[in-house]
């Protein structure tokens, strides 16, 4: 077993996937996330040490590439260590030096350069960098001049004369830092998309309805469909911009106005238990597309788009795409080649339209999508839903009618199995009666197929909660892990592989059991799961519940590369849970999933034939 001793950097984009800095390091096989974390650590440390910016950028780029890879680096290294460096160099974004460090980490459990840098930089400085308004240069000066090495040190010195004497540290800046630290304590983790999107939609609708508003949109990580959101970004074109700005800074839930200008407003919002920053940018209608592209990002996608435009003798910024090499061509009065619509900008750069969810700065420009991505309206079946028989709130008939009203041709009733005592799981006798009840409803309701199923627990050893005689009574078996979610990766892999290979299991539900920002869940060898699922024709579920989104986007991408079928279900317990489908679709689109790759989009006959296969 290869052991790893890397620590967590300051990037919070994957807070739900990684342990915190202060948790003890567990001695487990090296994962892609841990390799990425080591490179992110080094990039941050180099920034704080004032190192060459190219070294910093290189480590950041490697961390980003590895974090989103579907290739298991450990497999590449362990398969043939003698050629590992060469094979790693064939991966996007990995140079020889980085490849050698990856091999070193895999083989020894440590990376010499990483350890040296971590010894040079106080661990608490990573937390200081998390405070909005404090960049690497400011953090470095605080550290060098005042020996500030943590947020506690920062707050202990923030009211001193020495702190006020630091460069660009005026009273307003100090007040903003104090408020940011307090706000950070309230919003220690990024906001899950399931909390952010409803707020953004409400604000967007209100902005769009204002007099004089010609176009309005939300942008940023929310438009890209990321599972957690740092802040909310809105763009508006209006003939009455002052009125829009006034409305925004006085919107419901605004607790602090951070900026109120002619082109940008920023506020802090509190809606229910959610506290989040929201920014409004007022842009000309003729440049709306360019601004929407720019503020949607991601940063890496924008950089690649600008590089592409420069190679073609043009400049791209938030005002448009312009001919020539001037840094700010709009200031010279130049008319843009394209600006009003994103589609026109992509076309001018000889690209098809790149959906926002794919703008991740990886291969989307080199291998742009050639087929349509999955959409909400493609979903025609729900194969994972609960009733009052276990822990749901709807009867069988109410569940079926709800699915029928949404235009679905199939609904599977999959109440919990016996081990889920807290969820009122069904023992064998109750399940038999429940199957009869489902069949009775199916006989009465027209225009929709109502299937009798179960969400069956995958026990710690990989066995299932019912014996095969009981499972054979069901139309669909969704096998899911619910307990023992801290198993080591080897045991978790064996457990899930056993369930995948079971001939009566058609879907593996929320395979890792993670809860965003709350529970990391299992860390199995995903590549092994993909291969087994493809071999046994077992679907892996993307659970659309916004607290789960399990599989993650990169897992869906890896599964499809191996030929696995994807199930996209809401795990509905109440009628409103069906509305969670949007989060699953956004995640699927980030993975580049096309309709045909998702079993929930298939026509009824094809789906039912697949469900019966092997039974």
Instruction: Please answer whether residues 342 and 359 qualify as being in contact, where contact means their C-beta atoms are separated by less than 8 angstroms.
Output: no
pLDDT value of position 69: 82
pLDDT value of position 28: 54
Q: Which two tokens stand for residue 341?
A: 């619509």
Q: Is the dihedral of CA 383, 386, 387, 390 positive or negative?
A: positive
For every residue of 129-175, DSSP letters joined together read: HTSTT--HHHHHHHHHHH---SHHHHHHHTTSHHHHTSTT--HHHHH
Instruction: Name the residue among 114, 176, 139 with its Cα closest to residue 47.
Output: 139
Q: Is the dihedral of CA 293, 295, 301, 306 positive or negative?
A: positive
Q: What are the Cα distances from residue 395, in Å, to 414, 415, 427, 545, 564?
A: 12, 11, 18, 20, 33
- Report the CATH architecture of 32-120: Orthogonal Bundle (1.10)
Q: Is the pLDDT of residue 79 over 90?
A: no
Q: What is the largest CA-CA distance in the chain?
A: 80
Instruction: Name the residue among 404, 405, 434, 401 with its Cα closest to residue 417.
Output: 434
Nearest 5°: the CA angle 187, 191, 195 is 125
What are the boundaries of each domain within the chain? 32-120, 125-182, 191-282, 287-358, 376-612
Q: What are the Cα distances from residue 201, in Å, to 90, 196, 234?
A: 42, 9, 10
Most trustworthy range by pLDDT among 16-25, 32-41, 331-340, 541-550:
541-550
Q: Is the pLDDT of residue 325 over 90?
A: no
Q: In sequence order, what are the beta bridge partners of 289?
A: none
| pLDDT-based confidence at residue 328 (cuts at 50, 70, 90) | confident
pLDDT value of position 194: 96
DSSP 515: B
Q: Is the pLDDT of residue 503 over 80?
A: yes
DSSP 372: P
Q: Is the pLDDT of residue 439 over 70?
A: yes
Radius of gyration (C-alpha) of the chain in whole angstroms: 26
| pLDDT-based confidence at residue 188 (cuts at 50, 70, 90) | low
Q: Is the dihedral of CA 606, 608, 610, 612 positive or negative?
A: negative
Q: Is the pLDDT of residue 21 over 60?
A: no
Higher pLDDT, 273 or 610: 610
SS (H, E, C) 534-584: HHHCCEEEEECCCCCCECCHHHHHHHHHCCCCEEEECCECCHHHHHHHHHH
pLDDT value of position 615: 63
Q: Is the pLDDT of residue 72 over 90?
A: no
Q: Is the pLDDT of residue 469 over 70?
A: yes
The label of the residue with tokens 């440049």 reads 287
pTM of the model: 0.81
DSSP 331: G
How far apart are the C-alpha atoms of 508 and 481, rounded to whole Å?
Answer: 9
Q: 287-358 adopts what CATH topology?
A: Beta Polymerase; domain 3 (3.30.210)
| pLDDT-based confidence at residue 248 (cuts at 50, 70, 90) | very high
Q: Label the pairing between strands 274-282 and 476-480.
A: unpaired
How far apart are the C-alpha atoms of 522 and 349, rounded to whole Å?
Answer: 42
How far apart are the C-alpha atoms of 404 and 448, rounded to whole Å?
Answer: 6
pLDDT value of position 7: 37
Query: Quick one: what percent of the chain has pLDDT higher than 70?
Result: 94
How far apart are the C-alpha atoms of 255 and 595, rounded to whole Å?
Answer: 43
Q: Label the pairing between strands 228-229 and 191-192.
A: antiparallel
Strand stretches in 184-247, DSSP E: 191-192, 213-218, 228-229, 232-238
- HSE-CB of 494 using CA atoms within 13 angstroms: 6
Least confident of 138-152, 175-189, 424-438, 569-583: 175-189
In the predicted model, what is the mean pLDDT of residues 288-307? 96
How far apart are the C-alpha atoms of 466 and 453, rounded to whole Å?
Answer: 12
Q: Is the pLDDT of residue 17 over 50?
A: no
pLDDT value of position 614: 62
Q: Is the pLDDT of residue 412 over 60?
A: yes
Instruction: Please answer whether residues 66 and 32 qualify as being in contact, where contact means their C-beta atoms are separated by less than 8 angstroms.
Output: yes
Output the CATH code of domain 191-282: 3.30.460.10
How far apart are the C-alpha atoms of 69 and 137, rounded to whole Å?
Answer: 31
Look at residue 443 and give its three-state secondary structure.
helix
Output the CATH code of domain 376-612: 3.20.20.140
pLDDT value of position 81: 84
How far apart are the C-alpha atoms of 479 and 610, rounded to whole Å?
Answer: 16
Domains 32-120 and 125-182 in one fold: yes
Residues constituting the chain: 615
| pLDDT-based confidence at residue 18 (cuts at 50, 70, 90) | very low
- HSE-CB of 462 using CA atoms within 13 angstroms: 14
Q: At what angle do helices 553-561 and 526-536 cross, to 10 degrees?
A: 50
How far apart are the C-alpha atoms of 192 and 584, rounded to whole Å?
Answer: 13
| pLDDT-based confidence at residue 365 (cuts at 50, 70, 90) | very high
How far apart are the C-alpha atoms of 71 and 168, rounded to whole Å?
Answer: 45
For 526-540, the pLDDT digits (tens) are 999 999 999 999 999
Contacts of 97 (CB under 8 A, 6+ apart): none
For 6-15, the pLDDT digits (tens) are 433 333 333 3
In the predicted model, what is the mean pLDDT of residues 137-152? 92
Look at residue 222 and give its three-state secondary structure.
helix
How far apart are the C-alpha atoms of 525 and 497, rounded to whole Å?
Answer: 10
pLDDT value of position 4: 35
How far apart are the C-alpha atoms of 384 and 69, rounded to whole Å?
Answer: 29
Instruction: Please answer whether residues 566 and 559 qualify as being in contact, where contact means their C-beta atoms are separated by less than 8 angstroms.
Output: yes
| pLDDT-based confidence at residue 65 (cuts at 50, 70, 90) | confident
- HSE-CB of 390 using CA atoms within 13 angstroms: 27
**CATH number assigned to the domain with residue range 125-182, chosen from the 4 options 3.50.50.60, 3.30.70.270, 3.90.1150.10, 1.10.150.20:** 1.10.150.20
Give the strands of the sheet with 213-218, arranged side by side: 213-218, 232-238, 274-282, 264-271, 254-260
Instruction: Please answer whether residues 13 and 228 qualify as being in contact, where contact means their C-beta atoms are separated by less than 8 angstroms.
Output: yes
Query: Quick one: what percent of the chain has pLDDT higher than 90?
Result: 76
Most trustworthy range by pLDDT among 54-68, 154-168, 568-582:
568-582
pLDDT value of position 129: 87
Q: Is the pLDDT of residue 314 over 50?
A: yes
Q: What are the Cα distances from residue 204, in Å, to 138, 201, 247, 357?
A: 35, 5, 12, 19
Q: At what angle do helices 96-108 and 32-49 cross, to 10 degrees?
A: 120
| pLDDT-based confidence at residue 453 (cuts at 50, 70, 90) | very high
pLDDT value of position 12: 30
pLDDT value of position 187: 55
Give the chain's mean pLDDT. Answer: 91
In the predicted model, what is the mean pLDDT of residues 416-423? 94
How far apart are the C-alpha atoms of 232 and 193, rounded to whole Å?
Answer: 11
For the chain, how are helix, strand and coil distributed in percent, rounded to 5?
45, 15, 40
């Amino acid at each position: 077993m290869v052991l790893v001793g890397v620590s967590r950097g300051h990037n919070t984009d994957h807070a739900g996937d990684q342990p915190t800095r202060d948790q003890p390091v567990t001695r487990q096989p090296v994962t892609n996330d841990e390799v990425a974390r080591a490179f992110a650590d080094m990039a941050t440390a180099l920034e704080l040490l004032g190192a060459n910016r190219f070294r910093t950028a290189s480590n950041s780029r490697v961390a980003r590439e590895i974090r989103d890879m579907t290739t298991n680096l450990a497999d590449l290294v362990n398969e043939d260590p003698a050629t590992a460096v060469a094979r790693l160099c064939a991966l996007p974004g990995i140079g020889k030096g980085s490849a050698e460090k990856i091999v070193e980490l895999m083989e020894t459990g440590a990376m010499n350069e990483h350890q040296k840098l971590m010894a040079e930089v106080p661990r608490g400085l990573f937390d200081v960098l998390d405070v909005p308004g404090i960049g690497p240069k400011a953090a470095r000066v605080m550290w060098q001049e005042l020996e500030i090495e943590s947020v506690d040190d920062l707050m202990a010195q923030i009211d001193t004369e020495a702190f006020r004497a630091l460069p660009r540290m005026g009273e307003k800046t100090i007040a903003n830092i104090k408020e940011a630290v307090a706000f950070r304590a309230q919003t220690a983790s990024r906001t899950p998309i399931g909390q952010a999107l409803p707020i953004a939609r409400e604000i967007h609708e209100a902005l769009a309805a204002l007099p004089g508003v010609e176009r309005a949109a939300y942008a940023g990580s929310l438009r890209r469909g990321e599972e957690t959101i740092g802040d909310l970004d809105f763009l508006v074109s209006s003939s009455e911009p002052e009125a829009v700005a006034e409305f925004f800074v006085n919107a419901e839930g605004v607790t602090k106005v951070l900026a109120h200008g002619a082109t940008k407003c920023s506020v802090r919002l509190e809606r229910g238990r959610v506290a989040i920053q929201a920014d409004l940018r007022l842009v000309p209608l003729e440049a709306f597309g360019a601004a929407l592209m720019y503020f949607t990002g991601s940063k890496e996608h924008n950089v690649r788009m600008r590089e592409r435009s420069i190679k073609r003798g043009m400049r791209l910024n938030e005002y448009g795409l312009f001919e020539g090499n001037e840094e700010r061509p709009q200031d010279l009065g130049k008319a843009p080649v394209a600006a009003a619509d994103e589609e026109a900008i992509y076309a001018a750069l000889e690209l098809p339209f790149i959906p926002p969810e794919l703008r991740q700065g990886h291969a989307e420009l080199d291998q742009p999508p050639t087929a349509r991505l999955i959409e909400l309206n493609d979903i025609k079946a729900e194969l994972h839903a609960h009733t009052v028989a276990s822990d749901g709130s709807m009867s069988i008939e109410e569940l079926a009618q709800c699915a029928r009203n949404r235009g679905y041709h199939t609904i599977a009733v999959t109440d919990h199995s016996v081990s889920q005592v807290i969820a009122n799981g069904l023992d064998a006798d109750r399940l038999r009666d429940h199957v009869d009840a489902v069949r009775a409803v199916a006989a009465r309701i027209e225009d929709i197929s109502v299937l009798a199923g179960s969400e069956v627990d995958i026990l710690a050893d990989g066995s299932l909660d019912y014996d095969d005689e009981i499972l054979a009574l069901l139309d669909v078996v969704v096998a899911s892990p619910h307990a023992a979610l801290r198993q080591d990766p080897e045991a978790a892999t064996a457990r899930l592989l056993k369930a995948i290979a079971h001939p009566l299991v058609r879907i593996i539900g929320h395979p890792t059991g993670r809860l965003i920002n709350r529970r990391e869940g299992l860390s199995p060898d995903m590549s092994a799961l993909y291969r087994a699922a493809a071999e046994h024709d077992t679907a892996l579920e993307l659970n659309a519940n916004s607290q789960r989104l399990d599989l993650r986007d990169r897992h869906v991408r890896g599964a499809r590369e191996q030929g696995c079928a994807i199930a996209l279900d809401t795990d509905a317990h109440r009628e409103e849970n069906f509305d969670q489908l949007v989060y699953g679709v956004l995640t699927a689109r980030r993975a580049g999933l096309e309709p045909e790759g998702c079993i929930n989009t298939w026509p009824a006959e094809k789906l039912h034939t697949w469900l019966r296969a092997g039974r």
